[in-house]
Structure 1
Amino acid sequence: MTDKISVNSSSKLTEAISMLTAMFREKKFVVVSLRPGKDRTLDQNALWFALYERIAQMTQIGDVEDARRYCKLHIGVPIMRADDADFRDGWNRIFLNLPYEQKLELMGACPIFGPDGFPVTRLFNRAQGIAYTDRIVDDFTAKGVFFGDLLGEVAA
């Protein structure tokens, strides 16, 4: 039994304490993990997919999955390496010296990491997700990709 709850109000805090108490009474052993901040939103995931689609349409990068792999490797990995010492150490030890094509391949669906590829964006906190979005837009706007209509739709 695994439960996850976001505490953002007094009533949610009470609910979380009740869940923890009930689980402890039943199992007598509970592992608790806490962290501040918000989870990524579905809107953010939808926006990323729309950005990947636009990149695929307006560049020679390939299809949507190629754009996703490219962004994860070139934008997401540097964000995680800068912000998370454990991620950076693991990346440097295991992936740093792999050939570029292999790194890019591992960012997408593969037998080792499953359908989503090597975990990068799913590890983001909210601020990292915002930085990722901003860097995608900045990098690809400089390459002639227009995102204004996508960003306006999400903000509305």
Structure 2
Amino acid sequence: MLKTFLDGRKLPFTVDITEGLDRSAEQNRLAFKWYGEISEQTGEDIEDVRARCKLEIGVPIMRRDSEKFCGTYDRIVRPLPHADKLDLIRDTEMPVTSLMKVKQMTEYLDLMFRRHSEFGIVLTIPPDRFAYDPDRRMAA
């Protein structure tokens, strides 16, 4: 289908093909649920929680996995003081997690869970939809 679509396009044009799946809506919902739970348990503003997680967890993942992100971040953002980085991410909604693929977002969520659990913060663990569930099987 892609070849047929491209054959019908007028030249010149540019195409970008990227490996991997975009992060899932399920992952997005879980991240925002956890931002809220962290905020409720710590008293930290939810947007501050989100910015801190993006900076401290998401940025290292994206710097490791994307030369383009790393180059731009290191040139423009990295020299800033920590508080200014948080303000930038929070106030501009700087893309970090929105750039992630499913695998990267999985790592982000895993690190977010581990880091906050170490401080006694309780986060919702979603049910494993692939696990054996005899009750679900009986209902089917």
Alignment TM class, shorter chain as reference: 0.7 to 0.9
The aligned amino acid for 2:117 is T
AA paired with 2:17? L
- TM-score of the superposed pair, with normalisation by structure 1: 0.76
Tell me the matched-pair count: 129
Q: Distance between the aligned counterparts of 2:91 and 2:61, measured in 1?
A: 21
Structure 2 residue 29 is the aligned partner of structure 1 residue 46: yes
Q: Which residue of 2 aligns with 1:36?
A: 19
Deviations 1:16-51 (A, max 9, x none): 2222222x1xx2222111121111111111111001
Q: Which runs of 5+ in 2 are unaligned?
A: 130-140
Runs of 4+ with >4 A deviation: none
Cα distance in 2, alignment partners of residues 79 and 129 from structure 1: 9
Give me the CA root mean square deviation.
1.5
Report matched runs for 1:102-117 at 5 Å: 102-110=84-92, 117=93
Aligned to 2:98: 122
Long gaps (5+) in structure 1: 1-14, 111-116
2:4 alignment partner in structure 1: 18
- Taking only the aligned residue pairs, the percentage that are identical comes to 34
Q: TM-score, normalised by structure 2?
A: 0.84
